[in-house]
Amino acid sequence: MRQISASDLAAWLADAGREKPELLDVREPWETEICKITDSRLIPMSTVPMRVGELDPDKPLVVICHHGARSAQVGYFLERNGFAEVINLAGGVAAWAEQVDPAMARY
């Protein structure tokens, strides 16, 4: 599974000429109440197997968590289940806050 840095993801999202990836946040709801990346979709890690049908396996998918470990696990699961382009956000929202949005709340 590929990894993407927060700064590279921000550049991708800002590029009007490039297809936007789906942003899948696999943290818990209480975590997203503290901070989240705009337009990310919350499907907590424990519910992904039951809700995998809600995701498009042919669309680029960036998986997000707090530091990148849970999202990597979910990403490997999705790859094993037929998802063509799964990318893990290296460092998670913590890296996003550090590299892209210093005003983002941290925990």
* Cα distance between residue 9 and residue 24, in whole Å: 13
* Cα distance between residue 105 and residue 107, in whole Å: 7
Residue 51 belongs to some domain of the structure: yes
Active site residues: 65
pLDDT per residue, tens digit, the chain (107 aa), is: 999 999 999 999 999 999 999 999 999 999 999 999 999 999 999 999 999 999 999 999 999 999 999 999 999 999 999 999 999 999 999 999 999 999 999 99
Reading the block at residue 58, the tokens are 């042919």
- What is the domain extent for residue 88? 2-99
Q: What is the pTM of this model?
A: 0.96
Tally of structural domains, the chain: 1
Residue 107 belongs to some domain of the structure: no
CATH number, residue 8: 3.40.250.10
Residue 106 belongs to some domain of the structure: no
Reading the block at residue 37, the tokens are 């990346």
Residue 104 belongs to some domain of the structure: no
